[in-house]
Amino acid sequence: MKKFWFQSFIITLFVFFMLWGANKATDFKIFTAFDTVGQALKDFELTDYAFSNLRPDPSVDERIVLVNIGKLSRREMAQQIAMISSYNPKVIALDAILSCEGGLRDSVNCPALLDPIGNLLLSNAIQEAGNVVLASKLLQTDSLAKFDTNEADSLEVIDAIFSDYADKGFVNLPTDATYQEDVKLCRSIFPRKYIKGEEQLYFAVQIAMLYDSSKAVRFLARDNEEELLNFRGNIEVLQLRVKSLKNKDTGTSKFPTMFYVVDAEQMLRNEVLPEMFKDHIIILGYLGDYLGDSAWEDKFFTPLNKTVAGRANPDMFGPVVHANAVAMILNEDYVDEIPEWATTLIAFLLCLLTVALFIWIDQKIPMWFDALSVIIQLIELLIISSIMIYAFAAWSLKLELSVAIGVSALVGPCYDIFKSLQSELIKRLTKRKSQVLTS
- Domain total in the chain: 2
Mean pLDDT of 298-314: 78
Confirm whether 171 is domain-assigned: yes
Confirm whether 47 is domain-assigned: no
Residue bearing the bigger pLDDT, 436 or 379: 379
Q: Is the pLDDT of residue 381 over 90?
A: yes
Q: What is the pLDDT at residue 35?
A: 45
The 10 Å Cβ neighbour count of residue 209 is 21
- Residues 117, 109, 267, 125: what is their CA dihedral angle, to the nearest 10 degrees? -40
Q: What is the pLDDT at residue 245?
A: 38
Tell whether 259 and 223 lie within a shared domain. Answer: yes
List the Cα angle 275/280/286 in 5-degree steps.
100
Last residue of a domain, one of 297, 318, 334: 334
Q: Which has the minimum average pLDDT: 302-306, 310-314, 316-320, 399-403?
A: 310-314
Tell whether 22 and 105 lie within a shared domain. Answer: no
Q: Which has the minimum average pLDDT: 68-82, 99-113, 259-273, 386-400?
A: 99-113
Q: What is the pLDDT at residue 37?
A: 39
Tell whether 377 and 390 lie within a shared domain. Answer: yes
Mean pLDDT, all residues of the chain:
85
Mean pLDDT of 162-186: 83
Q: Is the pLDDT of residue 231 over 80?
A: yes
Alpha helices in 73-113 (DSSP H): 74-85
List the Cα angle 175/176/178 in 5-degree steps.
105
Tell whether 330 and 376 lie within a shared domain. Answer: no
Q: Is the pLDDT of residue 286 over 60?
A: yes
Confirm whether 90 is domain-assigned: yes
Tell whether 102 and 185 lie within a shared domain. Answer: yes
Mean pLDDT of 2-23: 93
What single-letter amino acid sits at 384? I
Confirm whether 65 is domain-assigned: yes
Last residue of a domain, one of 281, 304, 334: 334
Banded model confidence at residue 177, pLDDT cuts 50, 70, 90: low
* Three-class secondary structure assignment of 277-339: CCCCEEEEECCCCCCCCCCCCCEEECCCECCCCCCCCCCEEHHHHHHHHHHHHHHCCCCEECC
262, 84 Cβ separation under 8 angstroms: no
Mean pLDDT of 134-144: 82
Q: Is the pLDDT of residue 43 over 70?
A: no
Which residue, 239, 155, 232, 241, is CA-closest to 199? 155
Distance CA 331, CA 376 (A): 41
E strands along 174-269, which residues?
A: 188-189, 192-195, 198-201, 227-228, 260-262
Q: How many CA atoms lie within 13 A of 6 on its CB side?
A: 3
Tell whether 231 and 373 lie within a shared domain. Answer: no
Distance CA 327, CA 406 (A): 35
Alpha helices in 28-70 (DSSP H): 36-41, 46-49
Last residue of a domain, one of 304, 334, 364: 334
The 10 Å Cβ neighbour count of residue 342 is 12
Confirm whether 50 is domain-assigned: no
Q: What are phi and psi of 6, to 5 degrees?
A: -65, -45
Tell whether 82 and 14 lie within a shared domain. Answer: no
Q: What is the pLDDT at residue 426?
A: 76
Summarize pLDDT for 310-335 with one digit per residue, the tens. Answer: 556 888 999 999 999 999 999 999 99
Banded model confidence at residue 76, pLDDT cuts 50, 70, 90: very high
Tell whether 237 and 295 lie within a shared domain. Answer: yes
Confirm whether 48 is domain-assigned: no
Tell whether 123 and 35 lie within a shared domain. Answer: no
163, 123 Cβ separation under 8 angstroms: no
Residue bearing the bigger pLDDT, 258 or 243: 258
Domain housing 264? 56-334
Q: What are phi and psi of 70, to 5 degrees?
A: 45, -125
Banded model confidence at residue 254, pLDDT cuts 50, 70, 90: low
Q: What are phi and psi of 359, to 5 degrees?
A: -65, -45
Tell whether 301 and 227 lie within a shared domain. Answer: yes
Confirm whether 369 is domain-assigned: yes
SS3 368: helix
Cα 15 to the center of its chain, rounded Å:
31
Banded model confidence at residue 434, pLDDT cuts 50, 70, 90: low
> SS3 helix, strand, coil % of the chain, rounded to 5?
50, 15, 35
Q: What one-character DSSP code corresponds to residue 53?
A: I
Q: What is the pLDDT at residue 249?
A: 47
Q: Is the pLDDT of residue 236 over 80?
A: no
Tell whether 384 and 312 lie within a shared domain. Answer: no
Q: Is the pLDDT of residue 432 over 80?
A: no
Confirm whether 20 is domain-assigned: yes
Tell whether 177 and 323 lie within a shared domain. Answer: yes
Q: What is the pLDDT at residue 235?
A: 87
